[in-house]
Structure 1
């Protein structure tokens, strides 16, 4: 049952970029309404679990600030979708898996497995190829700009995850940290929209906001809550495989629904990035499994 919930969450999130393309609003507009529409439902979830939230006021404020990085990430990712398509933007966003490992090593001295380090040049080489390397058959209105936005989005999301994991560590109920991060994301989206986007629009318009509601309820609330609740209870290897479903499915949906026909070089880049991400995930899963077995043996 847990596996099915995890897979279901990954499938829902795989439609995030699709909903954004269907909404056809400015990047900042989508980045604001995604968390804003999700807030009432997440607040309701938190109301049922508030008693188990042991975080201090300082930790909650840090989580809200981290949510600001998530809001920045949403905005950058939405621009990437506009420049290079839903599938490619989502694949680029998943490079955060590599960046999280590198930053954890540099900042927190958490040395990654050797396989993770070997994956870095593979992922970076794949990112270069996803630009199309200036070839005329490259997909996207502005492939190079789209890739740049996609990578900076991944870096922003990396910073968010590193802070979020620290402040939410040890909590069995994720709705509190998720609520605080979503508040921060909505505030950041509002500020960025008002300050930088002439097309930022707070007026609800149909059907655009129907797609944004689906994005908020599906991806930002249900899928995120399921991932934070279910995946920590699954074996690390299973979790890694489930999380890889999302970018692969988004590429499929983008090809089917929007005719996102990548060039041969871009396809090679996608394959290289996903292979590198898979190596990092699998290496991490094996490492965590060995650590648990060693801890169990020492405890015995």
Structure 2
């Protein structure tokens, strides 16, 4: 297998692994802040072990503070990402919340336009109103049979998830070829940040219980450690053409798993909104001229799906 295909397969496996995140959060049955806190806390020991092994393989040389600052900032962004996303799951279910967390491509592109004068592609400009229409359909504004305890709040929490997630991905692309060590630093910072922020997000229950924490442990070891290690490894190495594939695999897998395992039943309009968002993101994130791959603008566009 060529190096290119190996990177593609690693990215796809990573996307599939993290697709079970939402269903595992729902299965735990704990509050959003509790699940966010413990999925990070339980992930700290194994990710620290991976970081230690990575450092040994590199001769024991520690990364400089300058290269770790982006990982620390990414940890703060990831804390907000998880807190918002776990609330979105609470409001609209795992499937819809995962789809709503996939707007980061547009957020990053328009932020780059404002900050760096990098005009978004025509495809992305066309895809933006399409995606917005899908978000409106999921919100239940025009749907008396909308799924979820509060679809509108779910949309708002999902949008906040995308903003935080975009910041996390950009910071994790901060110029180091290490994989486990930046992720370990980000995870530790995220754990501390969630603990400090949890009172603002409904509070966290610190008393472990079974089987809730069994699901959270599986969430930590699977998506949080294995999934994100694969994603972090492939993120700087994957081609732009893989963007659409990854954006399609993860949210649609989560919607299917949520329907099968959790009996989530979004309304027809909400499912239509999911399809509209995914198609809009896939269309908008693809480059009109693949031959120009490797340009500076590509570096600002995240190439993975949501948490």
Compute the TM-score of the two structures, normalised by the length of structure 1.
0.88
- Give a deviation string over 1:77-107, Cα, whole Å, max 9, x none: 1111011011100000011121122112222
Tell me how far 1:58 sits from its aligned partner.
Answer: 4.1
Quote the residue 2:93 is aligned against: 85
The answer as to 2:110 corresponding to 1:102 is yes
Which residue of the other structure, out of 182, 185, 188, is the alignment partner of 1:183? 188
Residues 83 and 143 in structure 1, CA contact (< 8 A), matched pair in contact too = yes
- In 1, Cα distance between equivalents of 2:148 and 2:215: 22
Partner of residue 112, structure 1: 120
Give the match for residue 298 of structure 1.
none
Contact 2:247–2:282 (8 Å) recurs in 1: no
CA contact (8 A) 1:31 1:74 kept: yes
Alpha-carbon separation, structure 1, partners of 2:38 and 2:117: 37
Q: Does 1:26 align with 2:19?
A: no
Q: Are residue 45 (structure 1) and residue 50 (structure 2) matched? A: yes
Counterpart of 1:227? Answer: 231
Does 1:63 find its partner at 2:71? yes
Instruction: Give yes or no for contact 1:236–1:288 (8 Å, CA) kept in 2.
Output: no
What is the rounded CA distance, in whole Å, between the counterparts of 2:223 and 2:49 in structure 1? 17
Does 149-158 or 44-53 show the bigger shift? Answer: 44-53
Structure 1: state its 5+ residue gaps: 293-300
In structure 2, distance between residues paired with 1:158 and 1:255: 27
* Kept in 2: contact 1:67–1:184 (CA 8 A): yes
Q: Which residue of 2 aligns with 1:295?
A: none
For residues 291 and 101 of structure 2, what CA distance do their matches in structure 1 show? 24
**What pairs with 1:155-174 in structure 2 (closer than 5 Å)?**
155-165=163-173, 168-169=174-175, 171-174=176-179
Q: Residue 253 of structure 1 corresponds to which residue in structure 2? A: 257
RMSD: 2.2
Unpaired runs of 5+ in structure 2? Answer: 297-307
CA distance in 1, matches of 2:121, 2:196: 39
Residue 28 of structure 1 deviates from its aligned partner by 0.4
TM-score of the two chains, using structure 2 as the length reference: 0.86
1:184 is displaced (CA, Å) by 1.7
CA contact (8 A) 1:231 1:239 kept: no
Question: How many residues align structurally?
Answer: 288
Q: Greater CA deviation, 87-96 or 66-75?
A: 66-75
> How far did residue 56 of structure 1 move?
3.0
Q: Report the secondary structure of 1:140's partner residue.
A: coil
Query: Where do 4+ consecutive residues of structure 1 move more than 6 Å?
Result: none
Question: Relative to total residues, which structure has the larger helix share, 1 or 2?
Answer: 1
Q: CA distance change for structure 1 residues 142 and 196 in 2, over 3 Å: closer, same or farther?
A: closer
